[in-house]
Amino acid sequence: MNALDWMFEELWNTPKDKFEWNAILKKASNMQNEHNKQMSENKLNFLRSQIAMFHPEWTKEQVHMEAIRVHEEANTIDDDDEGCLYCGS
């Protein structure tokens, strides 16, 4: 169950006061943040494996640093035409 579904169920079941709403919204936000963190780590692991295949001569540290660079660059690209050399996106 994702954070939005959980929050909807929590808020739908019974009437809530503003403190209960705040607690539910905070928990849903934490759930979403944890999900985003896990997805980011999954993307980094995927990038590491792709980069290691492209550059078998690189050390793990070089692969790791390139994965971080590509991941951070992907999160700041404003131009939709630019993609990732390693994953083809």
Tens of pLDDT, residues 14-36? 777 878 888 888 888 899 899 98
Distance CA 86, CA 53 (A): 9
Q: Which of 49, 52, 47 is nearest to 89 (CA)?
A: 47
| pLDDT tens per residue across span 39-59 | 889 989 999 999 999 999 999
- Residue 23 is predicted with a pLDDT of 86
- Asked whether residue 9 is domain-assigned, the answer is yes
Residue 82 lies in a domain: no
Q: Is residue 80 part of a domain?
A: no
pTM: 0.56
The answer to the question of residue 7 being in a domain is: yes
Task: Flag whether 83 is in a domain.
Answer: no
Q: Contact, 3 vs 28, CB < 8 A?
A: yes
Structural domain contains residue 87: no
Tell me how many domains the chain contains: 1
Tell whether 33 is covered by a domain.
yes
**Domain-embedded: residue 49:** yes
Which range of residues forms the domain containing residue 14?
Answer: 3-74
